[in-house]
Each structure stands twice: as C-alpha cells, then as structure tokens.
Chains A and B, each alone.
Chain A
Amino acid sequence: MKTCQALPALQQCAASIPHLRDLFQGQPGRGQALQLQGAGITLDYSKQRVSTEVLELLVQLAQQSGLEAERERLFAGEAVNRTEKRAAWHTALRVPANRQSPSQACVEEQLQRMSRLVDRIQSGVWRGFSGKRITDVVNLGVGGSDLGPLMVTHGLREYANAAAQGLRVHFASTIDGSQLFDLLDHLNPETSLFIISSKSFSTIDTLSNADTVRSWLSSHCEDEALMLRCHFIGVSAARDRMTVWGLPQDNQLHFWDWVGGRFSLWSVIGLPIALALGMSAFRQLLSGAHAMDEHFRTAPLSQNLPVMLALLGVWNVNFLDIRAHAILPYDGRLKYFPSYLEQLEMESNGKSVDQQGRALDYSTCPVLWGEIGANAQHAFYQLLHQGTQSVASDFILAACRYDAPGHYAHQEPLRAQHQLNIANCLAQSRVLAFGDAAVESENSPWQRYPGNQPSSTLLLKRLDPVSLGALIAAYEHKVFVQAVIWNINPFDQWGVELGKQVALQLQPLLRQPGSSAMHELDDSTRTLALRIQQQQACKGGE
C-alpha cells in the first residue's frame, strides 16, 4: 500500500472530505450513483464519506496493489497462503459439478459422499447402536467448524425440506463443555449422532468435547466399535488422525488443506447445514456463492461488490482513521452473522506483519462486532449516535419477507412488522449520516446528533440459500482484497497458536497444587492459579 501512487492523493482527499450532509448536497443523484449490484445483492455506499475522486483513487489503489493478478492466483488455486505455502481455494468448492476441472473433481466426490450420508440419516436408515433411528445430531466443532454451519443453519431454517424437519441439529463448541452439559442432559444416547468437525482433528476444544461424548456413550453401549460406528462422523482434512481416534472409514468425510477453516462451510464441514436444511438448500448456498465468485472475478473493479466493500473499509481505516466496524443485520435470522464475520475478518486480517515479514506502520483490520440491528438500537447505538468513536457500519436487509404463497397464520401482522423493521433500518443509517439535519432538531445539548458516521447498506431481495451464499462470499472476497492492499496474508492465523501452547503448559500445573513449576509463572498468573486451587480445595464454601 505504501508504494502505491494513489496514496498521497487519497491522504489529501481525506483531510478535506466534507460532512456527509454536504456530500449529498453537492451531488444530486448520489443515491443512484453510489450503488452497485452483484450476484443479486445491491450495495448502497452513498452514505460512505467518499467523493467521486476518492472512489477513482481507491480503484487505482487496488490496481496498484496488484489485486487483479493476485485474484487470478486465488482462483487458479495457487499458493496464495504464503506462510503456509498452500492455496486458499474455497472458490473451487463452489464450482458447479459440470464445470469442475480435473483437480476439482474431488470436491464433487466428497459432496456425493456427504449427500449419501445425509440421505441415510434423514431417511432413518442410519441407526444407533440399539437399532433405533437418529433423532438428534450434534456438531462438535469450534471456529470455522462451528460458526459457519451454525450461522447458516440458523439463518435458513425456514428453507428446511420435509426430510430434514424430523431431525434436530445442535451445536456444541465451548471447551468448558457447557453446551454439552445441557445437551447430554436430555439427549437419548441411542438416537444421537455426533459430528466431530475439525480440520486438523487436533483442536483440543473439539476433541475434549468428543471425548466427553465418547465416555457418555460408553456408559450406555459397551461395544466400543459399535458405538463409534453408529454415533460418530468425522469431518477433517486429517484422515489418519480420524482413524487413530477410532472412526471407521465409512464415517469419515474429507476436505483438503487448501480449504481454510474459516472458509470451510462450503466443504463437508457444511454437513450440519445439509442435515438441518437438506442437500438441495446446501447446493443452492454453493450456487449463490459461485455467482458471487463469478461477479468478483469478472466485474470491473469500480462495479465490483466485494472490491467496493474492501476499498471503503480501507478508506475508513487508513484514511479516515475509523477503527471500529459494526455489522448490523436487520433480520433476526442473521443472529449469528456478526460473530461469523468477526472470525472471518479479524482472524484473517488482524495482522501487523506484511507478506515479507516486515512490521507494518499502518492499520489493518478494524475491531468488528455486531448484533441484530433492531436489538442493537436498544444497546450500543447510543455510542454510534453520540459517542466519541467514529464507527463505520454495514446494514444488511432483505426487501421481501413473509411473502411465501403459503397461508401461514398472522401473515399480515408479520408483514407489517417487516415494514417497521425496514423503516428502522433506513432511519438509523439516515440519522447516522445526517444527524440533526435528518429532522427538525432540538436545542438541548443532549439531543444533538452530529451525524457523519459512514455506513453501507447491503440489500437482498430476500434471504434464501442463494442470497446468503452470495452474501458470505462477498465478505470473503472483501477480506481477500483488503489483505492484498495491506500486503498481508489473510489465510494464516499464527496469532492464535501461542495461547494454545501456554494453556497446555499450565494445564498440568493446575492439577498439582504447590508444584515447584508454579514459581516459573509470572506473579499475576501464579497468584490467580493459587487462588483457584484454594477455592477448589474447600468445596463446601469458605
């Protein structure tokens, strides 16, 4: 980024960029001009603090960063993940079967295997150890093996096919076993199936959950081989580790090291999605993502939705110094979308070393968080409207809802609620942009709204498997484009490793009160550990 010719001009523009109110005043038809479409999604970025000149310069910045060449390498399956020397070929997972290259044929093969499994489980052919049909499936996974499937499953529940509706799909991710503790309380071991989902098959969070389940099942089924065969499916890129854990070959689904964890919901990691919604919804999800891939690959940069999302982000972070980004879906079904994006964006681009290993002297990924928009209005919007932080926001909205021809009850009042929801979404981005100027203002200092908080609105016609696939893919590519501009590797995550190692060091120490190794710890950690040991020792209370 530092060497791009567009940089000084962008910095100059940033210094003199007018208030959003004035940008609109100076540009009639701005709403129409600053809008683009890709793969069925409309991006309105007229409420971003950009001028025509800024937009042109940002596109130059992308070009000067080598985006087009790097994008080609991404789609060709080249080793764009340089630190780990491998491809990040999630786009290959979404190529339709009839257009897959020979090296992509393995994708369809695994999807077919997954499809057969889904069919067996949903139709009741798959049996538990006692011969009963499966009623509950629990996905054991964390990070990319949890957030994506959870988000999509929750988001598209209304599209579940009839066969899927008989099956309950649950998610357990936390290392402390909290979710399992709740689930095992009411699940029937005879009719529960567990998916162990881990790319490396060494994730301790997931494997410790799996071990707990294994011990729970063992107390109901003495025959270990039978229990493993009837109650576990492994999803991983590490075949050998699955086998060592005890999973029979037929219960293993594979993906490849060129699929990054946070880009893996499109692979067999999506098994819980297919189980909860049906294989056809899963295929539609892939097709939506593929449509966005094609848009990203072929649309001119200035009309390219993921590219524009990325450029606006770079502009806000690096030129307007806005370090926070809120994700605000106005749709209860997208409850888990913000946390999904937290991982996608912050794990990908939360980096401070460039591709060559040099420390950066500019900002990369902002802090990103979010919530269902209308609920967040009653929570952190106060800070957005009147706080001291500049925050950029993405509003996400579906135009149509509750309009299926099915005559479900309360369709009219629900539609009215949807209209109210839309009104709220538009009102908030309007007030954020224009502040007091949006309406007749009050004079009290506590009722002043400065405005000028930038936002984009992503408008879907309706939220369905196709549009959600496209929406997710748009953010994936946004992340990639930003990484190219920032000259960082978005596909590794070395930052999460050290904590895991240290936890492994600490674990044995905690088991041995008074161990001499405790003295090697820093004073704070040692004191805390001792306090915990004390409290654990006196179980009856103080």
Chain B
Amino acid sequence: MNVRVLGDSLEAWALAGALALTGCDVSMSQSELLGGGADTAEPDLLQLLEKQQAAGRLRLGRQQGAADLLLVTRRLPSLEALQRAVQDFADSGKASGQPRLIALTQSVAIGTTDALQSWLDEQGAANVRVLYWPAFVQAGRALESITRPERILLGTCDAAVERVMRRLLSPFNRSRDTLLVMPPKEAELSKLAINGMLATRVSYMNELARLAEDKGIDIEQVRQGMGTDSRIGFQYLYPGCGFGGEAFLETLSQLNRELGHQREPGLLSSVFKINEQQKDLLFQKFWRYFGAQVAGRTVALWGCAFKPNTSAVEGSPALTLIEALLSHDVNVQVYDPMAMPVLRRRLGPLPGLSYLDSAEAAAQGTDALMLVTEWKEFWNLDMAAVLAGMKAPLLLDGRNVFEPERMHELGWVYSGVGRGVSV
C-alpha cells in the first residue's frame, strides 16, 4: 500500500517506520530523518528508519506519486486547516475515482472525522473515506507502541474501510485480536478520555501525597496498598512533581474544551490545577526551607525532560522551576542525559542558568538538589559523595527515586513527594 504521512512528530515517524517495515511504500515531505524539530531520542526507531530509507520503502521529500492512504498526524487548529492539509490528496483521489483513505491519528475535536467526510462528500470525493485511528505513541518506546499495541482503535462505520485497515494492521495484530472498531465520535472521545483518566489518577495521587505529607504518612506504602486492588492496578499511581509532554497536555486541553467547563470548574480543571501546583512544589519546599531567603543561592536540577528516555521538555516541571528560580535570583545548574540541547534551544542563554555535563557536576556547590526526571542513571549515584560537594544538604526528590531513611542516614534533608516529611 502507498502511504503518505503528514506531519513530523514522533508519532509521524513511528507510524512511517512501522508501516514501511511491513512492506508499505511510505512517503513523507521531510527532507531528513527525524528532522523538523522532533525532539526525540528513540534509538531503535532511528535505526529502523535508516534501514527503511535504504531499502527504498521510506521516501523523503517527494511530493509526487499517488497514495492510497493519507495519515494526518499533524495537529491542526481547525477543520478549515485540516481541509487545506488534505486538499491535494482529496483532489487526486477524486480524479482517480479509486477508493482512498484518510486516517486522522491525533486527538481531535469530537466530530472532526465525520465533518471531514461530509466535506469530501460535498466536494464529490466520496470515494475518499475518512477514519479515526488514534495512535497511542509513548515517548521513549514509540516504535513498540505501534508494533506491539495493547489495542488498536478504529473509528469508522464503513465495513470496507475496516477491511482495508484490518489487513494493513494485521502484522501488529497477530497474537490476539486487539482491534476495536467503533463509530468515529466514540473513537475520538475514547482517545481523549483515556488521557483524561490517566491524568486524573496522577493528580488524585498528588492530592493524597499532600495529605500524606501533612500527616506524616508515607504515600509509597499507600500506593502499594491501592495498587494491589485489582480494580485499581498499579499504573499511573505515582505521585510526583507534575506530568508533562506535548501530546498528553494537548489531548487534555482538547478534552477540557469538549467538556466546556467555562462556567463551573469540573473534575478535569482540578486535575490541571493540581498538576500546575505540583510543578511548583519543589520551589515551594526550597522557599520554605530557606525561609524565603533564596536570592543568590544555587540549585541543582537533575533532569529536564518531561519523563525519562526522551529529550522532550514540553510541559516539564523543569521549565516551571527554572522560571521561578531565576525570577528570584537563584542560580540554576541543570543536567539531563538527553534533553540538554533541547532545553538550551528552547530557553537560549539565560543569566543564572548553566548547563553541566554530569549529575555530580550540576550538584557541586549548590544549596539544594531537585530531582525532576527519574532517569535510571540517578538511582544509584554515590549520594554521599554528592552531598559532600553541596553547600546545604537539601534534597528535593520530585519522583520519589530515593529511599528517605537511607538519605537521612547519609545526612541529607530529604523530601520526596508525600513521603511523610514536610519541608
């Protein structure tokens, strides 16, 4: 099948790579692999893309050539923008008279799939069918998200479309049938609802963590207690200093718009609010520890990616913290194994902000250490040695990576998120 992919996000590349892998002829308008600002670090994906490009199944920069399937992975601000984006494909599809498909993979306003189909029908391009195929791509394991999906969701009421897609996706749907077909609107809301639920779980845990902190309770044990209940499970029960990620936050905003909570705050607005507070949490602890005498101090920031194994910083608590710290004349020494170039590009040179080459170097001579991203390389560092280089022993663990008792023994003033010690 000839597939054209619109977009240059991580999702776009993962879909392109995965489909090329199964023998599709895939084309993209980008001129270089993972170009166009996809701030990602997915070694297996890059390898795959290189291989597919070499094999001629992934073609970059070519506009010509008719495609059977157009994947719209780009987030477009309106239906009109979406129409403009697919206009050429629709025109050539109409001229050919052959069955053609457009799949929308991003979170969209509910009803977008149907609205685009109606527009195509009005244009006399009813042979071009639109379906909603939400990708559930996770940064850090993008390729796997496509090739070994938990389930595949298809939003279409058209049996022919379903047949084509089922065939196309059969390589990813072998061990058991995980394909779920439903009308487009239901699929659109499912995509939004899943992310809303995940965010709600995290914010709920953060609210509990706040209580735990006040009451001298260790949330970690509570988390275990909750997770063992099969109705709940362990996923997304980690309290922390806030979730981020562009796609995730975008989807949540879309859901919030759909819920139309302008007049009275609903559940999701509290979820957002709690998350914003969590992003500021480590600053507040730092402020309290030093009794507001923070100007002129230096803080180490371990991690600035919004989660491990990605170089993306969009929505990361690190951004909130850096802004708050710098505005109070606090110097910041940041280290991240992967996201430093992205952060540097995003923030540019800022007085008071320095980029260090290692976790240890970033902590050297600082008044507080904030752990923002739970990169594996932070877990077993020699924290006694790190402490020796600090000016003050404050360790603010935004991801509950360290064991409170152990850190206390080493001489740290340790505060996790909801670990029973309030600073």
Interface residues of A (CB under 8 A from B): 123, 125, 127, 129-133, 223, 226, 229-230
Contacts of A125 in B (CB 8 A): 324, 327-328
Task: Check B292 against A132 for contact (C-beta < 8 Å).
Answer: no
Q: B287 at interface (Cβ–Cβ under 8 A)? A: yes
The residue on B at minimum CB distance from A120 is B327
| Best-buried of B283, B286, B287, B327 by chain A (most CB within 10 Å) | B287
Task: Check A127 against B287 for contact (C-beta < 8 Å).
Answer: yes
State in angstroms the CA–CA spacing of A230 and B327 once bound together. Answer: 16
Q: B284 at interface (Cβ–Cβ under 8 A)? A: yes
Task: Check A131 against B291 for contact (C-beta < 8 Å).
Answer: no
Known: A125-B327, A125-B328, A131-B292. 9 other contacts (CB 8 A): A127-B284, A127-B287, A129-B292, A130-B284, A130-B287, A131-B283, A131-B286, A132-B280, A230-B292
The residue on A at minimum CB distance from B282 is A131
State in angstroms the CA–CA spacing of A230 and B328 once bound together. Answer: 13
A221 to chain B, nearest CB (A): 10
Q: B261 at interface (Cβ–Cβ under 8 A)? A: no
Which listed residue (A123, A131, A133, A229) contacts B288, Cβ 8 A?
A: A131
Task: Check A223 against B291 for contact (C-beta < 8 Å).
Answer: yes
Q: B151 at interface (Cβ–Cβ under 8 A)? A: no
Interface residues of B (CB under 8 A from A): 280, 283-288, 291-292, 324, 327-328
Task: Check A131 against B287 for contact (C-beta < 8 Å).
Answer: yes
| Best-buried of B283, B288, B292 by chain A (most CB within 10 Å) | B292
Task: Check A226 against B291 for contact (C-beta < 8 Å).
Answer: yes
A231 to chain B, nearest CB (A): 11
State in angstroms the CA–CA spacing of A429 and B398 once bound together. Answer: 67
Task: Check B292 against A229 for contact (C-beta < 8 Å).
Answer: yes
28 contacts between A and B (CB under 8 A): A123-B327, A125-B324, A125-B327, A125-B328, A127-B284, A127-B287, A127-B292, A129-B288, A129-B292, A130-B284, A130-B287, A130-B288, A131-B280, A131-B283, A131-B284, A131-B285, A131-B286, A131-B287, A131-B288, A131-B292, A132-B280, A132-B284, A133-B280, A223-B291, A226-B291, A226-B292, A229-B292, A230-B292
Contacts of A226 in B (CB 8 A): 291-292
State in angstroms the CA–CA spacing of A230 and B284 once bound together. Answer: 13
State in angstroms the CA–CA spacing of A131 and B290 once bound together. Answer: 10
A167 to chain B, nearest CB (A): 16
A108 to chain B, nearest CB (A): 24
B28 to chain A, nearest CB (A): 38
Contacts of A223 in B (CB 8 A): 291
| Best-buried of A123, A131, A223, A226 by chain B (most CB within 10 Å) | A131
B141 to chain A, nearest CB (A): 35
Contacts of A129 in B (CB 8 A): 288, 292
Contacts of B280 in A (CB 8 A): 131-133
B287 to chain A, nearest CB (A): 3
The residue on A at minimum CB distance from B283 is A131
B162 to chain A, nearest CB (A): 41
A54 to chain B, nearest CB (A): 57
The residue on A at minimum CB distance from B286 is A131
A373 to chain B, nearest CB (A): 31
Contacts of B285 in A (CB 8 A): 131
A392 to chain B, nearest CB (A): 45
